[in-house]
Amino acid sequence: MTIQLGQIAPDFEQDTTLGRIRFHEWLGDSWGVLFSHPKDFTPVCTTELGMVARLGPEWVKRNVKVIGLSVDPLESHHAWEKDIEETQGHGVDFPMIADPDRIVSTLYGMVHPLADASLTVRTVFVIDPNKKVRLSLTYPPSAGRNFDEVLRVIDSLQLTDAHKVTTPANWQSGDDVIIAPSVDDETAKGMFPAGWKTLKPYLRMVKQPIDR
């Protein structure tokens, strides 16, 4: 199964290191980040889980719940958590899904037979409060994921949802943004009374709106 942007994220019920969950119910009205690992006790993923735990306050600030997954059983996950805390200096305080039956992996298309028919690829899904998939990224096993980039995209998505703007290349929070093409000039006058800079009729730059 191929998960496409805009699709409702498949629901499931599965055991995790913090108890059994039904995914949609667990997400509630939060954003979600679901990220998978080929298997436990892998070096790159050990550093990633430590980083995601260390970024805990950043996820909370954005109303994001994070959850990991690999095809190994719960006992293996719990043993791996000890290594992660020892080597990365931060305990894993979010759930990791045990998926030995490949139920979740299959639902989300995370087993790629040409890569390895028995393990999950390293995928990230960002899911919004309406349970729609808003981003998916798949990384090679050798390259650690950049979770600052995941946070940056979530910032962009949340800004877009709130203010009908889009974000240019290499945008960082606080930089100028682009008025969405769906907003005509007349409507934009009410939304952005301080004005904007028109580079082309389809490229209108404006100061980033600030939530109050």
pLDDT (tens digit, 9 = 90+) per residue, 175-191? 999 999 999 999 999 99
User: Distances from the Cα of 11 to the Cαs of 2, 24, 94, 104, 207, in angstroms?
Assistant: 15, 6, 19, 9, 38
How much is the pLDDT for 110? Answer: 84
Cβ atoms 37, 120 nearer than 8 A = yes
Q: Do domains 13-145 and 164-206 have the same CATH topology?
A: no
Cβ atoms 29, 127 nearer than 8 A = no
HSE, side-chain direction, 13 A CA sphere, residue 156? 22
How much is the pLDDT for 51? Answer: 97
How much is the pLDDT for 12? Answer: 96
Assign 3-class secondary structure to 41-53.
CCHHHHHHHHHHH
How much is the pLDDT for 2? Answer: 79
| Active-site position among 45, 66, 126, 133 | 45
Domain assignments of the chain as residue spans, ordered by start = 13-145, 164-206
Name residues whose C-beta falls within 8 Å of residue 114's C-beta, 6 or more positions apart in sequence: none
Torsions phi, psi of 167, nearest 5?
-120, 135
pTM of the entire predicted model: 0.92
Helices of type H across the chain: 23-27, 43-54, 56-61, 74-88, 103-107, 147-163, 185-191
Provide the terminal-to-terminal Cα distance of the chain, rounded to the nearest Å.
41
Note if 45 is an active site residue: yes
Pick out the chain residues at pLDDT < 50: 212
User: Distances from the Cα of 18 to the Cαs of 138, 141, 151, in angstroms?
Assistant: 25, 26, 24
Query: pLDDT of 158-173, one tens digit each?
Result: 999 999 999 999 999 9
Report the C-alpha gap between 208 and 4 in whole angstroms. 29
Report the C-alpha gap between 108 and 14 in whole angstroms. 14
> Helix or strand or coil: residue 178?
strand
CATH code that applies to domain 13-145: 3.40.30.10
164-206 topology per CATH: Antioxidant, Horf6; Chain A, domain 2 (3.30.1020)
How much is the pLDDT for 38? Answer: 87
How much is the pLDDT for 112? Answer: 65
